[in-house]
Amino acid sequence: KSDGDGGGSAGGGGGDAITMGFAQVGAESGWRTANTKSIQETAKKDGIDLKFSDAQQKQENQIKAIRSYIQQKVDVIAFSPVVETGWDAVLQEAKRAKIPVILTDRSVDSKDDTLYATFLGSDFIEEGKKAGQWLVDNAADADVDKNGSINVVELQGTTGAAPAIDRKEGFADATSGDDSIKVVASQTGDFTRDGGKKVMESFLKSQKDIDVVYAHNDDMGLGAIEAIEAAGKKPGVDIKIITVDAVKDGMTALSEGKINYIVECNPLLGPQLMDLAKKVVAGEEVPKRVVTEESAFDQEQATAVLADRKY
């Protein structure tokens, strides 16, 4: 679906406004909602004519949207690829049409990096490493039943998506030196609250000794909290919870002690994206990779910043 109404029209003056076609992943999480808002608001502010589409987490919808942007001869295409693989053909089409492409938030696994101008987004492996390192550093506390073994259940993001692949890898890497930490079950919850809840309900039935939940985003962690409470246990106490994103609902749960640690993933990519788009359209050089700056929060830090959290 392309509503063509994402960011208003050309800024004043009747000059040649840049037209951007943006193919968004969907509206699966609080992070995504904040990301969409940032892109739409910045486009409007910068006088960029934004054509926006929501792919509802389906690659074929994103490919359709990109093809329609090529047909409409937009100045620049930006998208956050729902999964890593399968983009070469459509990216070749954009290249043949001489329309530059900016990858934002998530990347593709194409071998040919001339298929896109730049990739703006987080280092997801680093995020997974931060989550794993916190667990290593807090292992004594995380061994809730004090039996010397820390059993982790993992709620993975969308299968095949860069943040799901990389956050899994980073976490495994950071925890590999500690033999007491074991991932005893790992399944996708598709980055949604409902998905996280359902998978956690089934983990609570199939695994009798869960010490830690590692959720690849806040929404799945929040869904897991609901499942844990419904099972009569205290999230954050009986089962420790680590998530990624740091959206307001996640930070509220962290501040209340229901989540124990959140690694930040910054969704406010609009300003950097529009700056890159202007440069790319003007034919200026841009770095091939722009990594966003992020931190991480424990309970005390979350409480300190919560009131000012914008999303």
Assigned token pair, 183: 């991932």
Query: Least distance in Å: CB of 44 to ligand AHR?
Result: 23
Q: Where are the beta strands (DSSP E) in the chain?
A: 19-24, 49-54, 76-79, 101-104, 118-121, 150-156, 181-188, 212-215, 240-245, 261-264, 289-291, 296-297
Q: State which residue, 19 or 121, has the beta carbon closest to ligand AHR.
A: 121
Q: Which is nearer to ligand AHR, 116 or 150 (CB)?
A: 116
176 contact partners, CB below 8 Å, separation of at least 6:
none
State which residue, 75 or 166, has the beta carbon closest to ligand AHR: 166
Minimum distance, C-beta of residue 191 to ligand AHR, in the bound complex (Å): 4
Contact residues for ligand AHR, defined by CB under 6 A: 28-29, 31-32, 105-106, 163, 191, 217, 219, 244-245, 265
The Cα-based distances of 108 to 7, 87, 88, 154, 271 in angstroms read 25, 7, 9, 24, 22
Q: Which residues of 96-134 are buried (b: 16+ CB within 10 A; e: fewer)?
A: eeebbbbbbbbbbebeeeebbbbbbbbbbbbbbbbbbbb
Report the residue number, 106 or 240, with the smaller CB distance to ligand AHR. 106
Query: Can you tell me the distance from the alpha carbon of 83 to that of 59, in angstroms, rounded to the nearest whole number?
Result: 7
Q: Give least dist CB 199 to ligand AHR, A.
A: 15
Identity of the residue, 55 or 265, whose beta carbon is nearer to ligand AHR in the bound complex: 265
> What's the closest the beta carbon of residue 251 comes to ligand AHR, in angstroms?
13
Report in angstroms how near the CB of residue 220 gets to ligand AHR at its nearest: 8
